[in-house]
A and B are shown apart, each in its own frame.
Chain A
Amino acid sequence: MNCEVCQLKELEVEHFEIREVLRCILHTIVFHRALGLVRPKDVDLELFEITYVQCGDVELEKKIDEKIDHFISWVEKHPNKKSQICLSFYEVKSKQPSWFTNKTERLYWEQWYVNLNVTQHPKHHSSKSHHTKLIVDPGESATEERSCRRAMVEASLREVLFQIIKFVNEKKDHVPPISEGVIYFPYEITIPRKFQ
């Protein structure tokens, strides 16, 4: 089985936007890979005029938030750097049992790379808060510039979401069959080594 890889378009975000952007992208991807019985949950972004969809699974939401926190910590340690977060889906295959090993292996069948370019120093950002809206220069031109920049980020995020939809629609054959009682495929969220 081939591993399909999707490199999402790079997003230029500020530190306080990381959480919302990542939540939106990751949940959208997972929703497309949660082929079990779900009751979708609509979530409106606070920073942008975008509504994304979650599976409605509390555990999943918690895990994704933890990973996002971990990523934000990494970004705070490596400011003003391009960063990447990888969401991988895999199947668990048991290896040939031998006398010495009885391990299972993961067969990755899909990987999504979310590329972010964090532009601002994270010193004003609180890891728990996603409500901060920094206003550095309260002048009118700064406000216009900020709103223009916000619109650009929103448009870019929308593009990324459509990119996900197109990818999901174009490539369906590699998706494993649905298991009974399983809501979503096993996944993992990592920060690639070259970015660490």
Chain B
Amino acid sequence: MPIRQMHFLLLLSRQGKLRLQKWFTPVTEREKKKVTREMTLMVLARPPHSCNFLLWRDLKIVYKRYASLYFCCGLEDQDNELLTLEVLQRYVELLDKYFGNVCELDIIFNFEKAYFILDEFLVGGELLETSKTAVGIAMEEAETLQETMEEYMSKPTY
């Protein structure tokens, strides 16, 4: 029975640095590095205005460039590539809303936040939330919870 899902989501910089990696299937560290390398070579070499879909091994690769970052997904053959483009678009919009005009540096210096947002958006390679606002709200509330804790932790003992 083919497992229809996203296998991975990678964010690559123009210089080929990895900015975020999410793997939805169990993969060894070595294999991860190999896949990342190959994705970097393939995707960064694409000329502008190319088709956003590639075939690689037995997966479909959907990628989209946003400013200096390439968002790159590996999908099973059965998936709807056009919809995946929309998924990537939505993730970028969520990041943008959270960080305010997000740029690569935001994702570098606040990578944990980028992951937290991703985890409110995709789970196990499937879309978790389709509402534009719900993810942002969840992040805010989680942050409040966190701050409360930190405040408490850093409160002077006297």
Q: Do A and B associate with each other?
A: no
**Chain A interfacial positions (CB closer than 8 Å to B):** none
